């Protein structure tokens, strides 16, 4: 398909989406914004759902880093750490928090366990939060509120991959998914990556290459 034909096809598909939506179809995703409902559901969400979100970001971030796509790979690493910490709080029956600062989330996670020998209380956990903490915005916006100071950071994809693998490994020692759950780290795989696994097995396999959680 040449460029002009592709443009015409895109316009045709958009017209079809508008028509289908007008007739009650779901070609265009409806929007719903309800803060009260959000807060109510956040108070009762299962910790396993946070793990599912964390592992989705883990998959994407690890592959991006392996291809030297640094900034968005580091953003996904941040999201993986953030959701695992929120999963841990929910696992400990504490209210999930809606904050994004990793160090603050780690401190709040430490507050719900008295076991100071836990990975949550370790220097490694703190270092990981400090490592990925500045990358919540930099991959998405040209300017940021929170960013690496003076733009100073070193992109080391292999190192970042290993650190992320290690973090997930330690958190999975604390959080064991119930039997029968969809699980990125099991042969069954992740519920939202099923089609990737089936249709693009070579791409899917990139996640496992050199991954300490897949040996």
pLDDT above 90: residue 201 = yes
Q: What is the pLDDT of residues 127-159, one digit of tens each?
A: 999 999 999 999 889 988 888 888 888 878 899
Indicate which CATH number applies to the domain containing 86. Answer: 1.20.120.330
Tokens 């809606």 locate to: 98
Which pLDDT value is given to residue 103? 97
Domain annotation covers residue 135: yes
- Considering only CA atoms, give the Rg of the chain: 20
CB distance 62 to 164 below 8 Å: yes
Tally of domains within the chain: 1
d(CA 208, CA 215) in angstroms, rounded, equals 8
- Which residue range is the domain that position 117 belongs to? 47-174
- Rounding to the nearest 10 degrees, give the CA dihedral for residues 131, 137, 138, 141: 180
Distances (CA, A) of 128 to 43, 84, 93: 27, 12, 24
Q: Whole-angstrom Cα distance, residue 3 to residue 1?
A: 7
Domain membership of residue 193 (yes or no) is: no
The packing angle between helices 123-132 and 102-110, to 10°, is 150
pTM attached to this predicted model:
0.92
| Percentage of the residues of the chain whose pLDDT score is greater than 70 | 100
How far apart, in whole angstroms, are the C-alpha atoms of residue 109 and residue 55? 19
Instruction: Give a yes or no: residue 14 inside a domain.
Output: no
Please tell me what DSSP assigns to residue 48. H
């Amino acid at each position: 398909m040449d460029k002009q034909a592709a443009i015409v096809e895109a316009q045709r598909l958009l017209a079809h989406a508008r028509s289908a939506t007008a007739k009650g179809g779901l070609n265009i995703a409806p929007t719903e914004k309800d803060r009260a409902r959000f807060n109510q559901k956040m108070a009762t969400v299962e910790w396993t759902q946070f793990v599912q979100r964390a592992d989705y970001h883990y998959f994407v971030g690890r592959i991006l880093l392996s291809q030297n796509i640094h900034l968005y790979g580091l953003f996904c690493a941040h999201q993986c750490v953030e959701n695992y910490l929120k999963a841990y709080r929910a696992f400990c029956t504490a209210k999930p928090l809606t904050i994004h600062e990793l160090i603050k989330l780690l401190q709040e996670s430490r507050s719900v366990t008295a076991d100071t020998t836990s990975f949550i209380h370790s220097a490694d956990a703190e270092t990981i939060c400090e490592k990925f903490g500045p990358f919540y915005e930099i991959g998405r916006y040209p300017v940021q509120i929170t960013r690496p100071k003076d733009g100073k950071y070193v992109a080391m994809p292999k190192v970042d991959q290993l650190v992320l693998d290690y973090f997930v490994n330690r958190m999975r020692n604390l959080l064991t998914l119930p039997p029968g759950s969809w699980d990125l780290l099991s042969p069954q795989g992740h519920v939202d990556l099923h089609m990737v696994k089936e249709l693009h097995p070579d791409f899917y396999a990139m996640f496992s290459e050199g991954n300490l959680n897949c040996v």
